Every structure is written in structure tokens, then in C-alpha cells.
């Protein structure tokens, strides 16, 4: 195709010709074009089909507010649907396809939908597809989704990468139009740290799109010069191709920078960056959006906003047609006609709704006053328009100007409401702006050039003064205020044909009236019933005219009718950008145990525990499944010796003169009298008396304790203790620091544990005999010839067991050393599954039991809550209902038929009782197959469990549709006397 609509001038680089494809057709454009301007240059007026009625659609705007010209950009896995051609920068090799049609774009088979439009008005699917109910999911919804909708996803993984980042500034300037540039110049020259962001790839806003002059220079030249000055300032950061999409708390803004969307390939760099900008102050200079006037068949390709036509003519050197008409209710529309004529394009008429003299004398252009456009013709491109007096005018493009709406969106992101301005017939920013934000220029209703620049400068300097920063006086360039008078004309009531308000969601004037008739009087209800403003353009061109129609229906004013709430994002943000780097393996950080490398080499299967990767079991050749491995690990440990990396348990170093007294406060049981060199098990209560963590604490010195917590609660316990230290007991001399990662800690358990460790612990550092280092002893030792280590004689498995800790750098090596030392005992590494089985066999509570509802009384540890001292949770743990005799108690359960596996989570019922909540007796919290006992066992809670030993009850799992008889037994399935621990 040739560039039939390319005209002289513009900011494009004609020396650089770029080849691109649209629907398989080769076309050419130039550097500086958008896809929309290049399509227009090539005479491609028809670019897509509408959402609901499959109406032919063209290009409507020249910016991010575009509701019509949505395309699928790129191909394969890079394909992105619903891309606005008006902001897609042209690059060599670009491919785009139109969307939402079956068959070719020109001959869409689904266009038949348009003929059925009388039956498809607002809410039709709510009413039509009610019966039969079962048809909705299987038939109606898929059919509707197939016929309506936007572009298609590639269904392939997004091959692009994304990043995010954090920026800080004194002043954030949002929008680099005349007001924004002036604000940035004022602040930049004053020395403030400034960020100026603009969604366009060429900053300048309407200075690039108009023929306005500043200081006698072309507006775009002045803008380029000003941006060059800003670029030379080290205190100013210019962010083009960056949309500030949301205003958040405390001066924080979200911004999306499109880094490589304008390039053929991202070349391994992030495609987009999601920035969080921390600003001390912000000036919103986001400009204004032109609004259309609704009239019959106002959606045909070739009908555009008048300001957009100026942009195409002046910035891109392209005309939307060869015979253009202008329809306006204000003075601004005349400038479109003037700019077209200046470029040699024929303007067939200016139709002004006002019955008054022409706002501008444009030789050779027919001025038709007091009229409106009532209807249009031309299926794939506009051919003619019919006026309210019946005249028909031939034209292939129509520029429509209904006045301008300030872009107040970001002022509303924290529920601020805009206020109505009768002079502008538009909403302007209200009084409740986000903290630190001020608004200037067209966004503030200063729609003319000189006024916008004055506001931009003054707003920036006022913000700096407010911050107490220096301000430098800055002269304004000479500029004029354009004529902009207009009247409020929202639609042409004489039109009998469908008149579109929301072009993207196919909502018409008739739909708004119908929703009102059907009782949807609130703006919010109207929006949801008609879907007006709910498409990806968020109704930027549709909302205000729709409100006006709504106001007409209700007989209220527009401000009385109200607005819907603007929420972030201002323009669409890809999910990929929100996800950023956090995908795949890097979705979140991974914590590795010190022996991770050893475990990997030795066949470990890993399980995620929080962020930790823990060895779950170590499979050996010939084992048919995880149970084989786990059973072997348990039996080998109980039979000889097993080794498990338990580094993940939280470790907190507690020091200070009041450390012991402090532990007395945070533990329910007493620690003050714990002897140096001894370890004690403790439970911690929340303020409400619920038990939330347990563990052991070792007294390494008079004022030095080492606490262990559960893996899951390591951070929570530290945080609560830090709160207690700083806020509850600030007079105590106590200091906390996490040492979880500092020490690699290994459980060495089983009857040969001592013999193994005697080979590792330096004999001169510790007497390892039972008398020299008894159960619950602890001490500083050395291993392997002098490496400092800590040794604790504690047992989670119920066997003779130790935990030995070495500085983490030696962890991987230590695992190998322990295995080497244990070779003669057939030492076995075991993972978290075997660890879990052994603790259930021993009757130790863990996370399954401490589920946020359980008290010490429930655990059978009520007497551990010392009455001789106070502790966090003590008072509320005494509430009578928490100490009922019939409270659930932790006990063990075994199946009456040993061949039946128990089910964790099964509820307990007395024999003969119906399975309902009223008869609920308790539940099974932890279940395991015990290789020692050769049947399934469980820990669980049952009412008065401690007095019901030997009773048979039912374990019922409605989820599995199973039930079984279980016997209540002691929770200590293995060595209930604890004799193995003490040998």
C-alpha cells in the first residue's frame, strides 16, 4: 500500500522508512509514527470490530484514551491483545492484526449481530439467558464469549521479562505537556530533585500536536528545547514512555515505564518496569481529554475527535481523509479546520451547534451554524453526514469536538470527588486531593496555553516553598490564550439512529435511557447495568456524556447525578509487569539449609517449609515409594542412629542481666532457676492464653540463653519477644538477636548417638558420658580438632539424642563428617517425614496441634502455666471456660482394626451418634504410619480425653466418605516412661 494520506510537515523522520504488516498486508511508515498514524497514512481507515455488535471501527483518538483502534500486536508468544494503535510506536518489522471478527476484518461473519441489535440492548443477557438454568455454563456463556470480546491471548508463556524499582524525588511532575514542562523547569532550576514522567515517547503534550507558538518559536521546538535543558540538569529525571497510573498513600505513585515496546526485540532486557515513586510533593499536569458529541451512527470509521485530527495533521503529517467535515459546539473545533486547510486538506464544512458567527474565519470553508449531525453513512468508511436540517454533506472524515474534560483521574484515587465547573461544562479536581498533590494546567481546567504554563510554574514553586526548599524566579515564555468558548451539547436529540457513548463496550444513548427506565438511577448502577466505562479504556471519552444523558433522564444536574469513582490504574498495566521478576524459580526467595548440597547429592526429595527447602526423605535404590524410605529411616534411627538437619528451627540469642527474668515473662513455665548448662522445654502463650509456640531454651551462661522455636514461628516469636522487650518490659536489660542462620544444627538420634558423637566431639572439650552430659544438658564444645560447636542433649524422637551446632560455614562438611563417623553404626540421614513420624510416635505436639485454638490445658500441660509467676497470657488462660473438665485433651488414637489407615482431620464421634457438629467430640490432628508398631497411629483432641483411655470411638471423615473405630490411648506410643532418653 502507499501512504495515500501522508501530507506535508509533522515531527516524523521521513528519512527513516519503517516496514510493517497489518493483517498480512505490507505497509510503510516513518520513525516517529504510531501504528495508528501509519495505518491512517496508508489509508487503512477500518482497523477493528466492536465488542458487542461487531460494528466496523476506525481510529477515534490520538492517545491513551482510544476506545476503538485496539489491535493484537506482534505474533507468537509475544502477541499482545487489546493494544491501542494510537500509542503503539511504529518500529521496523512490526506486525499487527485486527481483532474480534470471524472471517476477514472487512467481511466479519459476526456482523450479523448488528442486525439483531434491537434484541441486544443493555442487560439483554441478564433477561434472555435465564432458562433453562443449566444452559448458562455449557451453552450460553461460551456462545456469548465467542461472539463478543476483545483480542486473544497467545496461550503461551510470556517470553518477555519485567522489572520494578523505587525512585525518590522532591517533586513528581505527572505529564510533560506545557504545564508539566513549566513545572519541571521551575523546580529543576530551583535545584529540587524532580521526576517528570510522560506516557508519550516525545514529551511536549499538545505542543507537539498544535500550531501554537511560545516566545515566537513553534510549540514543539520550544518543548524540545525545554526538555533538553531539563535533560542537562543532574537533579531532574525525565521518564518518557512512562505512565503514572496510580496515586497511593503518602505521596507514593505507581508508574509503568515501557522500555522496549518500541523496539523489534527486547534483547534480553526488561520489557517494562513498574516503578514505585516516593515523592515529597506532586504536580498533576495530565492534560485534558476531548469528549465527543453523540449522534446517530457516530461510530463509523473516519469519525474522530477534532483534537486528535489536529494531532495527526500537525505531529504525524497525515490526514484522516481527503474531504473532512468538522462538527463542534465550541471554538476549539475551528482550529482543526484551520490546521487542515493549512496543510491543503479540503474541509467540506464546519457545523457548529451554536447559532452564532464563526469563531474563526477560514477561507473556503462553509460555516453551518445552529445545526448538528444527525446521521451518517458509509459502512467501512464514512461517506456522508446528514444534518439536523436534512442536508447531506459528502465527507470521508468527520472531526467532532464536544469540549474538553480535565484528566482528574489521579486526583480521585483516594476517593476525592471532582467538582463541576459550569464554565467548562466539565468536572475539575475537587478539594480532597491525595496528600501532597496539586493540579495545574488543563488537568485543573486551565485549558488555554498561557494559563496552563502559568499554573504549572506557580504550582511547582508553591510546592517547593511548602517543602521549605529554595525557589528561583522563572519567566514564562510569551504565549496566548486560545479562544475556547463553547456550550454544553452532549447529544443530538433529533437523531433516531443509535448514538454511541462508549465505543469500546458498545453502549448507546438508548441504553442509558433504558437503564434509567428500568430503575437503575444511581450512576454506579447505571454503569454496571450497561457496562459503560467498564472496558479497558475505562470510559475516558464516554463517562461525562453518559452522565449528562443520565442527568437529562433524572431531571437533575450533572453534579447532582454524580460521578463514578476513578481507580488505578489510569491505563492498563500488564499482569506481567505487576508480577515483575517474581516468576518461576524466582517467585520468592529460597532458604537453603547448610547441608543442602550434601542432601542433593544423596538423593533427598525436598519439601518447601516456609521459604526453606528441607530434605523430606532420602530415597535409596529399590524403594518403591516415599513410605519405604520413611519407614526405613525411622527404623534405622530407632535401631541405631539417624542424622537430620534441624537448622531451620528458629534460634534466638538472649542476653542481659534480666534475660532470665524476661524468659519468665515470655514462657508460661519458669526459666529463672534453670541452671547454667541445662536446657528446658517451654511453651509460649498469646495474650489470650492460647499456646502459640513451644521449644527448648538452653542456659549457656548466667546472662546468656539460646532459645529454639519452631521453624514456622521463628519470625513470629522473635517479633513478639522484641515487642515485649521494647514495649512491655523496657526497664529490663535484655537483648535479642537471631542466630538461626548462624549455626548449622543437626539432630543425632538413636541408641548409638553418643558413640557417634564421641568420634566427632573433641574429648578434651566435653565429657560425653551420661553422667558428664546428662539428658537436657547443654554446653560449648569443640569438634573435629578445635572447631567451636554447641551441644544440646535434647530429643524430639524419644531416643537417646543430641543436637549439635557448628558455624553454618561448616554445615555441609559437618553432615559428611557425621555420616563418616557413623558409618560403623550404619548411620542414616533422615528427613522431615521420618522426623514427623517419630514425634507422633513419641506424642510431641507440633504445628498440627498448636493450631491457634489450643491451650496448655488442652495439651495436658495446664500445670506448666506457672502460678508462682506472671507471664504473657497467664491471666486470660485462667478463664473458666478454658479450663473446663470436659475440654478437649491431647491423647493418642489407634485403629481398632490395625490394617485400616487413619485419616488426619477426621472428627471423633461417640458410637451411635449421628455425624453432626452437635455430637462432635474432637478430631485427629496428626496421623502417621508407625513402622515401629506396624499400624497407623494418630494424635488428636477429644473431650475429657485424659479420662477416657481404652474407650472406642468413631473417627469420621465425611470428606473421604469414610469412618473407622479408634481406641483412645496414651499419646506416648513409644517408650512412655522416657527411659531411652536418659541412658
Partner 1 sequence: MSDLTLTSAPPLAGFDRRFGDTVLKAPKDLAIVSIALPLGDEAKAENAIKAAFGIALPAIGTSGETKDKSSAIMRLANDQAFVLFPCPTPDAERQVAAKLNGAAYTTDQTDAWCALELSGPLARPALERICMVDLHPDAFTVNAIARTVMEHMGAIIARTGEDTYLLLSASSSAKSFAHAVELSLKNVS
Q: How far is the CB of 833 from partner 1 (least distance, A)?
A: 21
- Residue from 452, 445, 447 nearest 477 by CA: 452
Q: Is 104 exposed, middle or buried (0-12, 13-18, 19+ CB in 10 A)?
A: exposed
Nearer to partner 1, 368 or 789 (CB): 789
Nearer to partner 1, 510 or 614 (CB): 614
Grid cell digits, residue 523: 450512576
Q: Are 117 and 50 in contact (CB under 8 A)?
A: no
- Residue from 802, 792, 808 nearest 822 by CA: 802
Nearer to partner 1, 280 or 291 (CB): 280
Q: How far is the CB of 714 from partner 1 (least distance, A)?
A: 11
Nearer to partner 1, 147 or 703 (CB): 703
Q: How far is the CB of 260 from partner 1 (least distance, A)?
A: 11
Q: How far is the CB of 69 from partner 1 (least distance, A)?
A: 32
Nearer to partner 1, 237 or 527 (CB): 237
Nearer to partner 1, 479 or 724 (CB): 724
Spatial CB neighbours of 13, under 8 Å, sequence gap ≥ 6: 30, 31, 32
Nearer to partner 1, 49 or 725 (CB): 725
Q: How far is the CB of 708 from partner 1 (least distance, A)?
A: 15
Q: How far is the CB of 639 from partner 1 (least distance, A)?
A: 24
Neighbours of 605 (CB within 10 A): 14
Q: Are 280 and 608 in contact (CB under 8 A)?
A: no
Q: How far is the CB of 649 from partner 1 (least distance, A)?
A: 12
Q: How far is the CB of 721 from partner 1 (least distance, A)?
A: 14
Nearer to partner 1, 641 or 783 (CB): 783
Spatial CB neighbours of 399, under 8 Å, sequence gap ≥ 6: 304, 305, 306, 308, 309, 320, 324, 325, 326, 327, 333, 336, 337, 340
Provide the binding-site residues for partner 1, judged by CB under 8 A: 161, 163-168, 193, 268-270, 273, 276, 278, 581, 586, 588-593, 611-612, 647, 653, 655-657, 703-704, 731-733, 735, 737-743, 759-764, 783-785, 787-788, 806-810, 812-814, 817, 820-821
Q: How far apart are CA 454 and CA 441, in angstroms?
A: 8
Rounded to 10 deg, the angle between the 509-517 and 543-554 helix axes is 40
Q: How far apart are CA 511 and CA 120, in angstroms?
A: 10
Q: How far is the CB of 772 from partner 1 (least distance, A)?
A: 17
Give the single-character DSSP code of 294: B
Calculated CA dihedral for residues 686, 692, 696, 741, nearest 10 degrees: -100
Nearer to partner 1, 325 or 753 (CB): 753
Nearer to partner 1, 596 or 839 (CB): 596
Nearer to partner 1, 394 or 733 (CB): 733
CA distances (Å), origin 112, targets 19, 34, 107, 298: 35, 32, 10, 19
Backbone dihedral angles phi then psi of residue 67, each to the nearest 5 degrees: -100, -15
Nearer to partner 1, 614 or 907 (CB): 614
Nearer to partner 1, 478 or 657 (CB): 657
Q: How far is the CB of 591 from partner 1 (least distance, A)?
A: 4
Q: How far apart are CA 516 and CA 243, in angstroms?
A: 36
Give the single-character DSSP code of 323: E
Place of cell 456462545: 143
Q: How far is the CB of 270 from partner 1 (least distance, A)?
A: 5
Place of cell 548411620: 827
Nearer to partner 1, 639 or 656 (CB): 656
- For every residue of 251-280, which 3-state class applies, written as one string? HEEEEEEECCCCCCCCCCCCCEEEEEEEEE
Helices (H) and strands (E) in the chain, counts: 23, 50
Q: How far apart are CA 750 and CA 494, in angstroms?
A: 94
Q: How far is the CB of 652 from partner 1 (least distance, A)?
A: 10
Q: Is 470 exposed, middle or buried (0-12, 13-18, 19+ CB in 10 A)?
A: exposed
Nearer to partner 1, 547 or 756 (CB): 756
Q: How far is the CB of 513 from partner 1 (least distance, A)?
A: 50
CA distances (Å), origin 390, targets 323, 374, 401, 494, 967: 20, 8, 21, 11, 93
- For every residue of 778-813, which 3-state class applies, written as one string? EEEEEECCCEEEEEECCCCCCCCEEEEEEEHHHHHH
Nearer to partner 1, 117 or 813 (CB): 813
Neighbours of 589 (CB within 10 A): 7
Nearer to partner 1, 505 or 745 (CB): 745
Q: How far apart are CA 208 and CA 220, in angstroms?
A: 5
The C-alpha angle with vertex 901 and arms to 895 and 904, in degrees rounded to 5, equals 95
Q: How far is the CB of 611 from partner 1 (least distance, A)?
A: 7
Q: How far is the CB of 646 from partner 1 (least distance, A)?
A: 13
Q: How far is the CB of 648 from partner 1 (least distance, A)?
A: 8
Nearer to partner 1, 365 or 706 (CB): 706
Cis previous bond, 569, omega within 30:
yes
Q: How far is the CB of 183 from partner 1 (least distance, A)?
A: 20
Task: Report the SS3 class of residue 422.
Answer: coil
The C-alpha angle with vertex 503 and arms to 498 and 507, in degrees rounded to 5, equals 55
Backbone dihedral angles phi then psi of residue 329, each to the nearest 5 degrees: -120, 15
Q: How far apart are CA 96 and CA 35, in angstroms?
A: 9
Q: How far apart are CA 122 and CA 354, in angstroms?
A: 32
Q: How far apart are CA 689 and CA 875, in angstroms?
A: 7
CA distances (Å), origin 402, targets 227, 483, 490, 569: 31, 15, 7, 26
- Residue from 218, 188, 187 nearest 204 by CA: 218
Q: How far is the CB of 722 from partner 1 (least distance, A)?
A: 11
Amino acid at each position: 500500500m502507499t501512504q495515500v494520506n501522508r501530507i506535508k510537515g509533522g515531527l516524523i523522520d521521513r528519512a527513516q522508512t519503517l516496514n510493517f504488516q497489518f493483517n498480512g498486508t505490507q505497509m510503510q511508515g516513518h520513525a516517529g509514527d504510531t501504528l495508528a498514524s501509519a495505518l491512517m497514512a496508508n489509508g487503512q481507515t477500518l482497523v477493528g470490530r466492536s465488542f458487542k455488535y461487531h460494528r466496523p471501527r476506525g481510529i477515534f483518538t490520538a492517545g491513551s484514551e482510544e476506545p476503538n483502534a485496539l489491535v493484537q500486536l506482534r505474533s507468537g508468544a509475544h502477541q499482545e491483545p487489546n493494544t491501542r494503535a494510537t500509542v503503539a510506536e511504529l518500529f521496523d518489522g512490526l506486525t499487527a492484526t485486527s481483532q474480534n471478527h470471524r472471517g476477514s476484518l472487512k467481511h466479519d461473519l459476526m456482523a450479523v449481530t448488528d442486525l439483531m441489535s434491537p434484541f441486544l440492548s443493555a442487560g439483554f443477557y441478564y433477561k434472555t439467558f435465564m432458562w433453562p438454568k443449566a444452559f448458562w455454563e455449557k451453552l450460553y456463556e461460551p456462545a456469548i464469549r465467542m461472539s463478543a470480546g476483545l483480542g486473544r491471548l497467545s496461550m503461551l508463556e510470556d517470553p518477555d521479562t519485567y522489572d520494578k524499582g523505587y525512585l525518590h524525588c522532591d517533586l513528581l511532575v505527572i505529564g510533560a505537556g506545557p504545564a508539566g514542562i513549566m513545572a519541571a523547569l521551575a523546580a529543576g532550576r530551583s535545584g529540587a530533585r524532580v521526576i517528570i514522567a510522560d506516557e508519550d515517547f516525545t514529551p511536549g503534550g499538545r505542543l507537539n500536536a498544535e500550531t501554537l507558538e511560545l516566545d515566537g518559536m513553534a510549540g514543539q521546538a520550544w518543548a524540545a528545547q525545554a526538555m533538553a535543558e531539563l535533560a542537562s540538569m543532574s537533579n531532574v529525571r525525565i521518564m518518557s514512555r512512562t505512565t503514572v497510573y496510580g496515586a497511593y498513600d503518602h505521596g507514593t505513585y505507581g508508574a509503568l515505564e515501557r522500555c522496549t515496546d518500541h523496539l523489534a526485540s527486547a534483547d534480553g532486557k526488561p520489557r517494562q518496569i513498574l516503578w514505585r515513586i516516593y515523592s515529597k510533593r506532586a504536580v498533576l499536569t495530565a492534560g485534558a481529554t476531548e469528549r465527543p458529541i453523540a449522534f446517530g451512527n457516530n461510530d463509523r470509521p473516519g469519525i474522530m475527535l477534532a483534537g486528535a485530527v489536529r494531532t495527526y495533521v500537525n505531529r504525524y503529517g497525515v490526514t484522516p481523509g481527503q474531504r473532512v467535515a468538522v462538527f463542534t459546539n465550541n471554538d476549539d473545533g475551528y482550529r482543526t479546520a484551520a490546521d487542515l486547510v493549512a496543510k491543503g486538506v479540503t474541509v467540506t464544512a464546519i457545523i457548529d451547534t451554536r447559532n452564532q458567527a464563526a469563531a474563526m474565519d477560514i477561507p473556503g470553508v462553509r460555516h453551518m451554524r445552529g445545526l448538528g449531525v444527525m446521521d451518517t453513512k458509509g459502512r467501512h468508511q464514512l461517506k456522508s453526514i446528514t444534518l439536523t436540517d436534512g442536508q447531506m454533506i459528502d465527507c470521508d472524515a468527520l472531526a467532532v469536538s464536544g469540549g474538553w474534560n480535565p484528566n482528574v483521574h489521579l486526583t480521585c484515587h483516594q476517593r476525592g470527588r471532582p467538582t463541576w465547573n459550569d464554565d467548562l461544562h466539565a468536572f475539575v479536581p475537587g478539594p480532597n486531593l491525595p496528600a501532597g498533590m496539586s493540579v495545574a494546567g488543563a488537568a485543573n481546567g486551565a485549558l488555554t496555553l498561557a494559563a496552563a504554563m502559568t499554573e504549572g510554574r506557580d504550582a511547582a514553586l508553591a510546592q517547593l516553598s511548602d517543602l521549605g526548599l529554595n525557589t528561583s524566579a522563572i519567566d514564562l515564555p510569551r504565549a496566548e490564550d486560545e479562544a475556547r468558548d463553547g456550550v454544553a451539547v452532549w447529544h443530538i436529540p433529533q437523531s433516531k439512529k443509535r448514538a454511541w457513548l462508549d465505543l469500546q463496550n458498545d453502549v448507546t444513548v438508548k441504553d442509558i435511557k433504558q437503564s434509567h427506565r428500568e430503575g437503575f438511577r444511581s450512576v454506579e448502577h447505571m454503569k454496571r447495568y450497561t457496562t459503560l466505562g467498564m472496558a479497558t479504556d475505562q470510559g475516558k471519552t464516554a463517562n461525562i456524556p453518559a452522565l449528562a444523558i443520565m442527568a437529562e433522564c433524572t431531571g437533575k444536574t450533572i453534579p447532582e447525578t454524580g460521578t463514578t469513582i476513578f481507580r488505578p490504574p489510569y491505563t492498563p498495566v500488564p499482569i506481567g509487569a505487576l508480577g515483575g521478576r517474581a516468576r518461576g524459580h524466582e517467585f520468592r526467595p529460597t532458604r537453603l539449609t547448610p547441608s543442602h548440597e550434601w542432601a542433593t547429592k544423596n538423593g533427598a526429595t525436598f519439601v518447601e517449609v516456609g521459604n526453606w527447602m528441607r530434605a523430606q526423605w532420602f530415597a535409596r535404590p529399590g524403594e518403591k515409594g516415599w513410605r519405604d524410605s520413611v519407614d526405613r529411616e525411622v527404623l534405622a534411627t530407632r535401631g541405631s542412629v539417624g542424622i537430620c538437619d534441624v537448622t531451620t528451627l528458629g534460634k534466638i540469642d538472649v542476653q542481659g542481666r534480666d534475660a532470665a527474668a524476661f524468659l519468665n515473662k515470655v514462657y508460661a513455665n519458669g526459666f529463672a532457676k534453670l541452671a547454667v548448662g541445662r536446657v528446658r522445654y517451654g511453651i509460649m502463650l498469646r495474650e489470650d492464653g492460647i499456646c502459640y509456640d513451644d521449644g527448648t531454651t538452653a542456659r549457656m551462661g548466667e546472662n546468656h540463653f539460646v532459645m529454639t522455636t519452631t521453624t514456622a514461628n521463628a519470625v513470629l516469636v522473635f517479633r513478639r519477644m522484641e515487642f515485649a522487650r521494647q514495649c512491655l518490659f523496657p526497664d529490663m536489660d535484655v537483648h535479642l538477636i537471631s542466630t538461626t542462620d548462624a549455626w548449622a544444627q543437626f539432630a543425632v538420634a538413636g541408641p548409638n548417638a553418643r558413640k557417634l558423637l564421641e568420634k566427632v566431639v573433641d574429648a578434651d572439650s566435653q565429657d560425653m558420658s551420661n553422667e558428664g552430659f546428662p539428658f537436657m544438658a547443654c554446653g560449648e564444645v569443640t569438634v573435629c580438632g578445635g572447631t567451636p560447636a554447641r551441644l544440646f542433649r535434647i530429643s524430639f524422637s524419644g531416643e537417646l539424642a543430641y543436637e549439635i551446632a557448628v558455624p553454618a560455614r561448616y554445615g555441609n562438611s559437618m553432615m559428611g563428617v557425621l555420616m563418616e563417623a557413623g558409618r560403623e553404626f550404619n548411620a542414616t540421614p533422615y528427613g522431615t517425614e521420618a522426623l514427623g513420624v517419630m514425634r507422633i510416635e513419641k506424642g510431641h505436639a507440633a504445628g498440627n496441634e498448636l493450631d491457634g485454638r489450643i491451650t496448655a490445658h488442652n495439651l495436658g500441660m495446664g500445670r506448666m502455666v506457672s502460678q508462682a509467676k506472671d507471664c504473657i497470657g497467664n491471666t486470660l488462660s485462667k478463664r473458666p471456660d478454658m479450663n473446663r473438665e470436659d475440654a478437649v485433651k491431647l491423647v493418642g488414637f489407634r485403629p481398632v482394626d490395625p490394617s485400616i489407615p487413619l485419616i488426619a482431620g477426621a472428627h471423633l464421634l461417640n458410637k451411635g451418634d449421628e455425624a453432626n457438629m452437635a455430637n462432635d467430640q474432637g478430631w485427629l490432628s496428626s496421623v502417621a504410619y508407625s513402622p515401629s508398631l506396624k499400624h497407623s497411629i494418630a494424635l488428636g483432641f477429644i473431650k475429657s480425653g485424659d479420662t477416657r483411655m481404652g474407650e472406642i470411638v468413631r473417627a469420621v471423615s465425611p470428606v473421604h466418605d469414610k469412618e473407622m473405630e479408634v481406641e483412645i490411648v496414651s499419646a506416648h506410643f513409644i517408650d512412655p516412661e522416657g527411659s531411652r532418653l536418659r541412658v
